Amino acid sequence: MVGVRFLVIIGNPRPGSRTAAAAHAAALAVAAAAGIDAAPDVLDLSELGPALLQDGPPPAVADALARVADADLLLVASPTYKATYTGLLKVFLDKIAAGALAGKPALPLLVVGAPRHALAVEVHLRPLLVELGATVPTPGLALPESSLDQPDSTLAEWAGQVAPAVRGALTAGAAR
């Protein structure tokens, strides 16, 4: 798919996190499986930190929000903190108006430390994206922390499962 603007949003408060590496690898796997020719753009929220809490928004936050608005496809990733996504991700997504992502496909990904957190991607992150208007056409990925050293097979399997829905959602969005 030519010209797809694919944005990866990283909600880990630590720069250079394992979540960031896993999300980037997941985005590359999805892009390859769905036939998206452009490299994913990465928005690491750890770089915005306290600016997210300022009134305004400051230029860096305004730029980040514009990147979200301009994207055709989102992959939203976070580690699980207290059985859900991070506060950093929540603060950023709270700056997006309800419905503002209307029709935009989004893929939720949570890095989970324990099997009991696997449902958090569907129970917490998916509804937040839907509230913002995003289309979440696929199951989210609960990526076990234990697989972060060698996530390729898990990511390839997930990407293969979600690629048809991603292509369909992008085609439907282009038709609007």
Arithmetic mean of pLDDT over the chain: 94
Q: What is the pTM of this model?
A: 0.95
The yes-or-no verdict on residue 176 having pLDDT over 70 is no
Higher pLDDT, 2 or 31: 31
Domain 6-171 belongs to what architecture? 3-Layer(aba) Sandwich (3.40)
Q: Where are the domains of the chain?
A: 6-171
Q: How far apart are CA 125 and CA 90, in angstroms?
A: 10
Residue 139: how many other CB atoms lie within 10 Å: 15
Joined tokens for residue 95: 């700056």
Model confidence pLDDT, tens digit, residues 48-106? 999 999 988 899 999 999 999 999 999 999 999 888 999 999 999 999 999 999 989 99
